[in-house]
């Protein structure tokens, strides 16, 4: 009886083992079939929509970090509105992955913010540089060169833009030498205007080039009192230019002045141009700074060809060298 029972147990065990072997073979076969036809791949989704497949999500994440989010040069930061999600799936082996297309698509949809440093003068941007160190160096150099003008309003602002064309344009002009030249030009123009402004009127043009032969308030034998203007020697016939915009109020001979042109510039400011050989304007004529109004001569009380220039405020002579021929 025991022998028969043992044989039955062995029989059922062998049968179960065969069934188990068949089950494992079936599983292995299914796995082999699946492995032959399918492959594990990550489906990449953005906002719930599948946009592609990758074999290695870590590699893709690293590429996003290195190729898109990295802060290089003047890139301040990069914004990706929708980061991808990943889902592991078995897909047909014929399904191609598209990492390059995904990277390209993410780059195109990323918003890049660029950062530069704007050097300002009197609140207006004059030039751009790449770094704060360059901006500080530039400002320090300009202020040192114009140390006598301590009220110069030169500053530094951070400038951000998401406009690629704007960034390219700035990149082309961020040479430190060019930046300094642009700022110096603005500062020099400002100082020139400030020092040539009398009672709100800008004396933009030096009437003639020449040698100063007699200064304001000089006491000399050729006149009865202190000199009311500035004498600039020049060849007879040299063109005389209006110092500023204005209206001609006198254009005729006048005693010791000889041939005289007076121009009213507003705010009580007048300029006189005396001893002219020839007058080229008439009373009531509007002139612009730089217009030729007369020619150098030696008419009136004069010992040789020169321009007698006066600047008057409310008919009181002031020293022209406060504003011109400094």
* HSE of 55, CA atoms in CB hemisphere, 13 A: 7
Of 181, 270, 268, which Cα lies nearest the Cα of 229? 270
Work out the pLDDT band at 212, boundaries 50, 70, 90: very high
Confidence grade of residue 265 (pLDDT, cut at 50, 70, 90): very high
Cα dihedral: 126, 131, 136, 142 (round 10): -40
Instruction: Using only the alpha carbons of the chain, give its radius of gyration.
Output: 44
Span 117-149, pLDDT tens digits: 999 999 999 989 999 999 999 999 888 888 776
Q: What's residue 35's pLDDT?
A: 53
Q: Is residue 159 very low, low, confident or very high in pLDDT (cuts 50, 70, 90)?
A: very high
Q: pLDDT at residue 24 above 70?
A: no
Q: How far apart are CA 161 and CA 75, in angstroms?
A: 10
Whether the pLDDT of residue 34 is over 70: the answer is no
> Is residue 30 over pLDDT 70?
no
pLDDT digits (tens, 9 = 90+) for 226-241: 999 999 999 999 999 9
DSSP H or E stretch at residue 14: helix 2-37
Q: What is the DSSP letter of 223?
A: S
Mean pLDDT of the residues in the chain: 87
CA 270/CA 250 separation, integer angstroms: 11
Task: Determine the average pLDDT of the residues in 146-164.
Answer: 84
Q: Is the pLDDT of residue 52 over 80?
A: yes
Domain regions of the chain by residue span: 37-109, 114-195, 202-322
Question: Mean pLDDT, to the nearest integer, of 285-298?
Answer: 98
Longest dimension (CA), the chain: 162
Q: What is the pLDDT of residue 254?
A: 97
The predicted pLDDT at position 118 comes to 92
pLDDT of the residue at 115: 92
Q: Which CATH superfamily is domain 202-322 in?
A: Glucose Permease (Domain IIA) (2.70.70.10)
Q: For residue 2, what pLDDT is reported?
A: 53
Q: Which carries the bigger pLDDT value, residue 62 or residue 38?
A: 62
pLDDT of residue 260: 98
Mean pLDDT of all residues in 44-65: 86
* Least reliable range by pLDDT among 88-92, 114-118, 158-162, 184-188: 88-92
Closest to 125 measured CA to CA, from 164, 165, 162, 173: 173
Phi, psi of 321 (to 5 degrees): -75, -5
């Amino acid at each position: 009886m025991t022998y028969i029972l043992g044989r039955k147990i062995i029989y059922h065990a062998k049968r179960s083992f065969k069934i188990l072997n068949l089950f494992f073979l079936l599983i292995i076969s299914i796995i082999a079939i699946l492995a032959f036809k399918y492959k594990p791949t990550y489906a990449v989704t953005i906002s719930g929509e599948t946009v592609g497949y990758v074999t290695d999500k870590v590699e893709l994440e690293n590429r996003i970090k290195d190729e898109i989010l990295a802060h290089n040069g003047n890139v301040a930061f990069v914004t990706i509105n929708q980061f991808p999600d990943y889902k592991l799936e078995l897909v047909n082996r014929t399904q191609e992955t598209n990492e390059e297309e995904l990277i390209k698509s993410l780059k195109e949809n990323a918003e890049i913010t660029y950062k530069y440093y704007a050097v300002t003068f009197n609140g207006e941007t004059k030039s751009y540089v790449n770094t704060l160190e360059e901006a500080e160096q530039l400002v320090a150099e300009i202020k040192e060169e114009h140390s006598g003008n301590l009220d110069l309003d030169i500053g530094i602002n951070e400038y951000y833009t998401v406009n690629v064309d704007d960034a390219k344009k700035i990149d082309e002009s961020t040479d430190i030498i060019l930046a300094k030249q642009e700022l110096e030009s603005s500062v020099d123009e400002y100082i020139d205007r400030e020092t040539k402004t009398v009672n709100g009127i800008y004396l933009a043009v030096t009437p003639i080039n020449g040698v100063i032969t007699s200064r304001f308030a000089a006491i000399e034998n050729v006149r009865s009192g202190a000199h009311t203007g500035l004498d600039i020697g020049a060849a007879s016939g040299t063109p005389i230019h209006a110092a500023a915009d204005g209206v001609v109020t006198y254009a005729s001979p006048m005693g010791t002045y000889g041939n005289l042109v007076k121009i009213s510039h507003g705010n009580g400011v007048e300029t006189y141009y005396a001893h002219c050989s020839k007058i080229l304007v008439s009373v009531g004529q509007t002139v612009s700074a730089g217009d030729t109004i007369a020619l150098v001569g030696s008419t009136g009380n004069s010992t040789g060809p020169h321009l007698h220039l006066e600047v008057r405020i409310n008919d009181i002579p002031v020293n022209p060298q406060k504003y011109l021929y400094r």
